[in-house]
């Protein structure tokens, strides 16, 4: 958790992620049940997401998703030393191949997210949108120019 100023709760959640007590897929209600709700009823969720981001940075997987069609395209395990440029170099060919397989005509947005290490090939697009750390996105193809 090098870039995160830890609190006791973030530290506890991080340790629970490391020991497998909880994961990126733990249901929201279980997070609230385990760690409690603050006065604004969302405080432990924010701390969970901070711990999830920190744990993913230390022991992570980067995934690339077709945002336009809501499709998982590929993933790679990463370490704290893995740069965004390395992830793009590795994951972008998945997006290029997918774009060509879709006919290469309609533009699509692709995004790279980071999560704790795991297999995310079966997860829905909404899972990445709500649980993962956004890292990078781009458009494949060009938007049509109006005539």
Asked if the structure places residue 147 within a domain, the reply is: no
Phi, psi (deg, nearest 5) at residue 40? -90, 5
- Give the chain's radius of gyration (CA, Å): 17
* Percent of the chain predicted with pLDDT > 90: 61
Do 75 and 136 share a structural domain?
yes
The domain containing residue 76 runs over which residues? 60-140
Number of independent structural domains in the chain: 2
Do 125 and 64 share a structural domain?
yes
pLDDT for 4: 53
Asked if the structure places residue 88 within a domain, the reply is: yes
pLDDT tens by residue, 92-140: 999 999 999 988 888 999 999 999 999 999 998 889 988 999 999 989 8
Do 120 and 72 share a structural domain?
yes
Do 120 and 64 share a structural domain?
yes
């Amino acid at each position: 958790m090098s870039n995160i100023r830890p609190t006791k709760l973030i530290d506890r959640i991080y340790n629970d992620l490391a020991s497998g007590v909880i994961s990126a897929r733990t249901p929201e209600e279980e997070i609230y049940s385990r760690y409690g709700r603050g006065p604004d009823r969302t405080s432990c969720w924010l701390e969970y997401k901070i711990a999830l981001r920190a744990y993913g940075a230390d022991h992570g997987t980067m995934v690339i998703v077709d945002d336009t069609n809501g499709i998982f395209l590929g993933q790679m395990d990463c370490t704290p030393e893995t740069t965004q440029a390395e992830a793009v170099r590795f994951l972008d060919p998945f997006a290029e191949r997918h774009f060509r397989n879709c006919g290469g005509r309609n533009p699509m947005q692709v995004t790279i997210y980071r999560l704790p290490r795991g297999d995310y090939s079966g997860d829905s697009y909404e899972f990445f949108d709500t649980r993962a750390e956004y890292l990078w996105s781009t458009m494949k193809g060009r938007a049509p120019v109006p005539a």
